[in-house]
Amino acid sequence: MNRERLAIELPGLSMKNPIMPASGCFGFGREYAKLYDLSCLGAIAIKGTTGDMRLGNLTPRVAESPSGMLNAIGLQNPGAEAVRDEELLFLNEYDVPVLANVSGSTPEEYLHVINTLKASKNVGAFELNISCPNVKTGGIQFGTDPEQAARLTQLAKEVSDKPVYVKLSPNVTDVVAIAKAVEAAGADGLSMINTLVGMRFDWKTKQPILANERGGLSGPAIKPVALRMIYDVRQVSDLPIIGMGGISNAKDVMEFLIAGANAVAVGTANFTDPFACPTIINELETWMDKMGVDHVTELMANG
């Protein structure tokens, strides 16, 4: 099969296909590497990395809801130095670019993570996580105010010699305003969307199910919201968009491309089926054969 027909070029990410696992749903790839060759992926978005190691929230950290799930992991990760020295080295064995998800409580922490990871040669680009709903400080507060989002983007661009994508939060009244602000501040691309803040209660104990009480909703339940937000942003921006939110099969991928995404990330589906990413890549090519599509970019709205 001619895999070139699936290949796409995004700033910093030369992708064999438009599919990558979404940050936070794939760890640093080690577990999935036992199941399949990670080199088949278009890219890998690694788990949100902070300056120092973080332990994250208490359990329960996940709760199911119809066609979706809430998570409140709380950015558990080994810290930027360990990610650089262990996880990125491990991933360097594979022929796949890394989108390094950068998280933090303060602008200084974000910049420290970028400075720590930027020399790793498999990091193709950074993804500024200004939309994590599960940490007390930082994260989403940068993503809900256009000025703060723009300021952080600008600072990140100043220290990074690699493209910077900004991962947008859907927990805003006007996602277009945030997208415009970070574009004006120099963002090279957008990732959208992060999870929607939600809650579930145990009717027997009358307590929230998650120890953190609130968590981020992901999975097919949020797909229409993601599609709408990508569509709205696409009307005003030419930035590359990595689309995500409930993608679980190739038809979902095509929907996201039509809405305005240039590539997609698969999140929760990796939990339902650990082989979701390679399965979707194969399915996508099968659909292209059926539809007589020569190149994946033809699947986009204007393709």
Partner 1 sequence: MYAKPMKVVRNREIAKDTYELILSGELVQHLHEAGTFLHVRVPEENFVLRRPLSLAAVNHELGTCTIIYKRVGDGTERITSARPNDRLDVLGPLGGSAFPVSLPKNADRILLVGGGVGIPPIYFAARQLTERGIPVSIIAGYADKESVFYEKAFYELPHSDVTIVTDDGSHGEKGTVIDIVKKQPAADWLFACGPRGMLRALKAEVPDETNCYVSLEEHMGCGIGACYACICESSDRRSYYKVCQDGPVFLAKEVYL
Binding interface with partner 1 (CB under 8 A): 24-27, 30-32, 34-35, 47, 55-56, 59-64, 66-69, 71, 73, 76, 219-220, 268-275
Q: List the one residue out of 37, 20, 194, 168 whose CA is nearest residue 99.
A: 20
Phi then psi dihedrals of residue 267, to 5 deg: -110, -95
Q: 165: which 2 tokens? A: 């994508």
Q: Identify the sign of the CA torsion 172, 174, 149, 77.
A: positive
Q: List the one residue out of 165, 193, 211 whose CA is nearest residue 267.
A: 193
Q: Annotate the chain with three-state secondary structure.
A: CCHHHHCEEECCEEECCCEEECCCCCCCCHHHHCCCCHHHCCCEECCCECCCCECCCCCCCEEEECCEEEECCCCCECCHHHHHHHHHHHHCCCCCCEEEEECCCCHHHHHHHHHHHCCCCCEEEEEEECCCCCCCCCCHHHHCCHHHHHHHHHHHHHHCCCCEEEECCCCCCCHHHHHHHHHHCCCCEEEECCCEEEECEECCCCEECCCCCEEEEECHHHHHHHHHHHHHHHHHCCCCEEEECCCCCHHHHHHHHHHCCCEEEECCHHHHCCCHHHHHHHHHHHHHHHHCCCCHHHHCCCC
Cβ–Cβ < 8 Å for 40, 16: yes
Residue 25 known to be catalytic? no
State the number of CA atoms in the 13 A half-sphere of 180 facing the CB: 7
Active site residues: 132
